[in-house]
Amino acid sequence: MSDDEQGPAETLSVEQLAARVGMTVRTVRFYAGRGLIPPPRREGRNGFYGPGHLARLELVRELQAHGFTLSAIEGYLERIPVDATPEQVALHRTLLAPWTPGMPETLDRSTLETRCGRTLTDDDVEVLVALGVVEPTPVEDQFRLSPAHLAIGVSFLDAGLPIDAALSARRIIAEHSARLAQRLTEMFRVEVWPRLKASGYPPELLTSMVERFKPLTVQALVTAYEEAVDDEKRRTVIRRTDR
């Protein structure tokens, strides 16, 4: 796929936008009519879309897979500021992804490139496999895709992440995530669940409270990680200054 065929990321036509998110043009226009994405940038009679539109439509897909109704999706998106960056919108997808039911898609390489918005080299595909975004199938040039993580994978490609670094990052994250999940699960079993069970709340409320525990802990993890990275940057600057 050439650059002319896919167009710059910031100037997608409605047809290109629909292809990127795996929707029909009719569906994209329907969502636009419901206000789920902002109006396109107009040049004469032509409308152009950008990363913000793409991020919001990907979030819509994620919410649908999570079982949200259209009215619930509208309410969810209303809480996201109109001027939120694509990265801020993508964070909502990241928070949803861990408890979204498995919804892998099987697609060929050409379709994968369309969804990524770029031509993929063999090294690019290896990075996506290493990150767990796609996995090869027995059929040549056919992959199973985790849509929730595609935007993250493409961001790593844009950053030029080497395959060795991708493998190392995945290993580090998996190692510490497994330990963290074990400790949080044990904490919930020992400290939270007995109190909920003895509260006398009806079963449906207990279920709701248990389900809320997941996104709250993930959001706390993301916040703690961001703070830790900022602290490490400051320490690095101080160490260099002291030399």
Give the CA radius of gyration of the chain.
21
Residue 28: the pLDDT is 92
pTM for the predicted model, two decimal places? 0.52
When pLDDT is averaged across residues 114-121 and rounded to a whole number, the result is 90
- Tell me: pLDDT of 98 over 60: no
Measured CA distances, 197 to 60, 134, 180, 201, 207 (Å): 34, 40, 24, 8, 11
The helix/strand/coil state of 105 is strand
Q: Which residue has the tokens 């960056």?
A: 85
Q: Which residue has the tokens 């395959």?
A: 163
Cβ(65)–Cβ(146) below 8 Å: no
CATH of domain 1-100: 1.10.1660.10
Across the beta sheet with 105-108, the strand order is 105-108, 142-145, 134-136
Residue 9: the pLDDT is 46
Cβ(119)–Cβ(157) below 8 Å: no
Residue 96: the pLDDT is 65
